[in-house]
Amino acid sequence: MSLGKRIREYRVKRGLTQMQLATKLQMSEANISSYERDKSAPPSDKLSQLAELLGVSSDYLLAGSVAASPSLQELELELSEEQILTLAAHRIGHEGPLTGQELEQIKLALRIALAKP
């Protein structure tokens, strides 16, 4: 699969139109269309922004390969609980550090979601 096809696939998976994606990247819709048709490739700064918006790595967009992800246990050894929750919040669009109250709300939501019925 080509770079353009991967961009299109993940744009559609994220429920974004070409115009919406272009707006988020501060580009024209024609740029996105050109990338998706493999007529041109995004510059490196836009590629990394594009990957972040689409929830994939730049490596995946370029080569279709996904590096092995560390296990949760490996992450827990390297990151504190607060860092893990902050990374998760940033992944869904939260900006900046989490307050103590936000951290507690996320922990409560996780406990509820993981509770056995």
Q: 21-35, 43-57, 69-83, 100-114: which range is least confident on average? A: 69-83
> What global pTM score does this model have?
0.55
Query: In this structure, are 7 and 53 located in the same domain?
Result: yes
Number of domains in the chain: 2
Range of the domain at 105: 72-114
Distance CA 18, CA 62 (A): 19
Query: In this structure, are 14 and 42 located in the same domain?
Result: yes
Whether the pLDDT of residue 58 is over 50: the answer is yes
Whether the pLDDT of residue 102 is over 60: the answer is yes
Contact 35, 53 (CB under 8 A): no
